[in-house]
Amino acid sequence: MNPYLVLSLLLFLVGTTGFIVKKNVLAMFLCVELMLNAANLAFVAFARDLGQLQGQIFVFLVMVVAAAEAAVGLAIMIVLYRRRQTLNPDDADTMKG
């Protein structure tokens, strides 16, 4: 098994676990970034394995997407922080049931 893939899997697991464990929306978003990068790593690794260039190009696309996501996400967090003065995701529970 390709060690890069193992690393990628670990990264992915860290990201998912962190997303559930962390109590700060920023940290959670960072975990998502970890997951995205795990995918990036996998793409690169696979591309190397397959001897293709395609996979490596995908990584750039994903990075762009991640950047856009970050922009949108931060904006949303800021709005919430302004209204609530908190970044704890558990405080956003007005709607439930």
Partner 1 sequence: MMTELLWLLPLVPLAGAAATGLLGRRLPKRAVTLVAVGASGAAFVLALAAFMELLSLAPGDRRIEREFFTWIAAGDFTAQASLLLDPLSAVMTLVVTGVGFIIHIYSIGYMRAEDGYYRFFAYMNLFLFSMLLLVLAGNFLLMFVGWEGVGLCSYLLIGYDFHRPAAADAGKKAFVVNRIGDVGFILGVLLVFLTFGDLGFGRVFGKIASDPSRFPPEAGVGVLTSIALLLFVGATGKSAQIPLHVWLPDAMEGPTPVSALIHAATMVTAGVYMVVRCAPLFSRAPVALDVVLVVGLATALMAATIGLAQTDIKRVLAYSTVSQLGFMFMAAGAGAFSAGIFHLMTHAFFKALLFLGAGSVIHALSGEQDLRRMGGLRRRIPVTFWTMLVAALAISGIFPLAGFFSKDEILWAAWAGGHPTVWILGLLTAGLTALYMFRLIYLAFFGEPRHAEGVHPHESPRSMTGPLVALAILSAAGGFIGLPAWLGANRFARFLEPSLSLVHRGAVPHFSHALEFAFAALSVAVALAGIFAAHRIYLARPGGAGRIAARWGAIHRLLRDRYRVDEFYDRAVVRPLLGLSERTLWQRVDVGVIDRAVNGAGASILSLGGILRGMQNGLIRSYAAWILAGMAAVLLYLSLLRS
Partner 2 sequence: MTLDELFLLIPQWILLAAAAALMLMEPFGRPAGRRRLGLVTVAAVAAAAYALQLQWGLEPRSIAGGMIRIDGFSLFFQWLFLVIAGLSAVLSTDFNQREGIDRGEYYALLLTACSGMSLAAMSEDLILTFIGIEILSLSTYILAGFKRRDIASNEASLKYFLLGSFATAILLYGIALVYGATGSTQYQAIRASAALQGEIPALLLPGLGLLLVGVGFKIGLVPFHSWVPDVYEGAPSPVTAFMAVGPKAAGIAALLRILAEALPGLAPDWTRILWLLAVLTMTLGNAAALVQSNVKRMLAYSAIAQAGYILVGVVVHTREGFTAALFYLVIYTVMSLVAFGVILALSGPGDRRVHLDDYAGLGRRAPYAAAAMGITLLALAGIPLTGGFMGKFFLFGSAVKAGFVGLAVIAVLNSVLSVFYYFRVLVYMYMKEAPGGTTDIDPVSRPVWAILAIGVLLILWLGVSPDRFLALAGYSSLGLK
Q: Which residues bind partner 2 (CB under 8 A)?
A: 5, 8, 12, 15-16, 19, 25, 28-29, 32, 35-36, 38-39, 42-43, 45-46, 49-50, 52, 54-55, 58, 61-62, 65, 68-69, 72-73, 75-77, 79-80, 83-84, 89, 92-97
Residue 30's Cβ-side half-sphere holds a number of Cα atoms within 13 Å equal to 8
Burial class (CB in 10 A: 0-12, 13-18, 19+), 15: buried
Distance (Å, whole) CA 37 – CA 59: 9
To partner 2, the closest distance from the beta carbon of 21 in angstroms equals 13
To partner 1, the closest distance from the beta carbon of 11 in angstroms equals 16
Give residues in contact with partner 1 (CB under 8 A). Answer: 16, 19-21, 23, 28, 89-90, 92-97
If we measure between CA atoms, which residue out of 68, 20, 15, 22 comes closest to residue 38?
15
